[in-house]
Amino acid sequence: MKYAYFYLILIMASLIGAQDKVTFDGQIRGRIEFDAKDFNSNTAMYNFAPLRSRLGAAFNPVNDVSVYFQIQDSRTSGTEASTLSNEKNLDLHQARFVVKDVFGLPVNLHGGRMVIAFASERFVGASDWNNVSRSFDGLLFDVKGAKFDLHIFGLRLAENQLPGDIGDVDFVGVHSELNFVENYKIEPFLYWERRLPTDDLSRLTLGFYVNGKLGNFSHETEGAFQLGKITPAPLSPKDINAFFFAFNARYNFGGEAQPVIKAGIDYYSGDDNGADTDYKLFSKLYGSNHKSHGFMDYFINIPNDSYGLGLTDIHGGFSFTPFKKFTASVDAHLFTGNADYVLLTGATSRNFGLETDITLKYNYNTAVNFQSGFSFFSAGEIFEETRGKDMATWAYVMTVVNF
């Protein structure tokens, strides 16, 4: 990493010399967050400023081959030991190639390190809000038909270089896109996540995603079932038997202000008996979690963040564009568990609490975007006992420059 910038300059220079046309892109994204999410009014709010910088280069060595490199520096401002220190935050975020129409077939081969996102990104996504965001290492085949597309992938998520591949994690699957109905996207999928030995984790996720539009009304329906084997430490292996369902609808009234109302429900199964041989907790796998269940990110890691109770998120919102380039929105989430939580009093509850998010966006021009938000969370009985009884708040201001 010490000479990464030097190597980058050499690579870019060689690419420019070797290619007739090299396309560069980049992004600088900075935000400041004001955090009082601890449910304790006696502690003071604190602020911090994540900063992410990206530089990418795309080129075509031959007509049917494209290559893309993207480096990324991800840091939190002020965390360096001094203004002269080098914290070595640089990383290779993407290094991918695409071979089009392999052997004359309607198949494109993607390989290397890449960003992969499917459907709503609930289970496989870029997780772009995160200051690092997600990328995968492996291969992906795109098979294109007249009325369908197939995405077949094989990814290595963990490599320990031990005999028998002990501890390695693979993620393979097929995600399809069917285009048989006008204005509807129908996407069945099958994912398999495996950690060796397979008794440790062998989880199969079968599901579907449907996105439809009827005039000004649009909706998303998504469902999935998980089965297989898992060994939750320090327990013996269990049979996975978990499921998920979501329905989200929105209506755009049109006109200059573009008012939109939206509502929906997300359901993740919970486990009401941790002592039996069934594992009923649904896992979100590798999705873009920030945009799913409230911007305060209390439910990033499901099932852990919901204490093994599963999660029901009943949500609704409203957005409008009061003037050109500016959008305001308000969203509310009522979070409950799907199994009983036993309180210290002996009573039971399923209430996590209520979150409200206010978001403002302004597209200054084609390159610059400003965004800010304010959120607050009123704790239910479960969070009152496990986190605190006071109102939790969080706010941010963010600027994104794309070039």
Distance CA 399, CA 403 (A): 13
Gyration radius from the chain CA atoms: 23
DSSP assignment letter at 124: B
Q: What is the mean pLDDT of the chain?
A: 93
Tell me the average pLDDT across 198-204: 88
The pLDDT score that the predictor gives to residue 243 is 97
Residue 181: CB atoms within 10 A of its CB come to: 11
Query: For the whole model, what pTM was predicted?
Result: 0.90
Residue-wise pLDDT for 40-54, tens only, equals 999 999 999 999 999
* 377 burial level (CB within 10 Å; 0-12, 13-18, 19+): buried
Instruction: Evaluate whether 331 touches 297 at the Cβ level (below 8 Å).
Output: no
Contacts of 47 (CB under 8 A, 6+ apart): 32, 33, 34, 35
Q: What is the pLDDT of residues 250-309, one digit of tens each?
A: 999 999 899 999 999 999 999 877 778 899 999 999 999 899 899 999 999 988 999 999
Q: What is the mean pLDDT of residues 320-342?
A: 96
List, in order, residues 6 or more apart from 116 with CB less than 8 Å away: 124, 126, 136, 140, 153, 155
